[in-house]
Amino acid sequence: MSESSLRVVWVYPDLLSTYGDRGNALVVERRARQRNIAVTRIDVRSDQAVPTSGDIYLIGGGEDRPQRLAAERLRQDSGLTRASENGAIIFSVCAGYQILGHEFINDLGEREPGLGLLDVWSTRGEGARNVGDVLADVDPRLGLPQLTGFENHQGITHLGQGVSPLATVSVGGGNGTGDGTEGAWRDTVFGTYLHGPVMARNPAVADMLIKLALDVGALPPVDTTWYDALRAERIAASRQPA
């Protein structure tokens, strides 16, 4: 597959890179290069324009004020929206997930417009934060194994008719709505509350994004020994009584 190439865009690492989410970019790169797929990674800071020619766009989590600043700049820039309109793959985590929706509550306690790339909207819970390990069964249409990750948020994300839940939780809070949903997806746009980073715990997610970007049904197998050990350890720990 050496004739293939990928452009991976890591969006606003200066604002949205909490809880090790940069690891998602590293895992996508690694999983592609293990298969001799050439990768160009572009780290786009918040004072730079988001290119529209990327194949995979990754957005991480962040604190409340950086999230508001990121949303403001992404609305002004419009590069990510145009990339989505061109069919790019977008994978977002926590604050990034909320930004892809219609609106969220910002650090000023006000409703902040999102990009509207996912039919979701987020409010802020009044109770305890959702903090801890998560286990979730993925929408069967995506063909992924059980997800393991770590959540730390007080957001409640409501799903509209234009999206499907990414997964259903067996451990953890997920979207915080009490209906067992975790994350959301539509076509090639994905959102989740799971850190970890989620792709280090779930390399099949990175592989799915690569397959979508290359428009292939399968990838050559590669070694997963390290990932399997991490997954097994975290899944076992998540199932232990608190």
Measured distance CA(192)–CA(30) in Å, rounded: 21
- Identify whether 195 is a catalytic site residue: yes
Q: Which of 102, 153, 158, 195 is catalytic?
A: 195
| SS3 assignment for 66-93 | HHHHHHHHHHHHCHHHHHHHCCCEEEEE
Q: Is 211 exposed, middle or buried (0-12, 13-18, 19+ CB in 10 A)?
A: middle
Q: Rounded distance, CA 3 to CA 57, Å?
A: 21
Alpha-carbon separation of residue 122 from 146, 186, 212, 216 (angstroms)? 25, 17, 27, 34
- Sorted by sequence, the CB contacts under 8 Å of residue 86 that are 6+ apart come out as 52
* Separation CA 107–CA 122 (nearest Å): 13
Active site residue 94: yes
Residue type, 173: G
Out of 94, 102, 153, 158, the active site residue is: 94
Locate 46 and state its tokens: 């918040």
Which residues carry out catalysis?
A: 94, 195
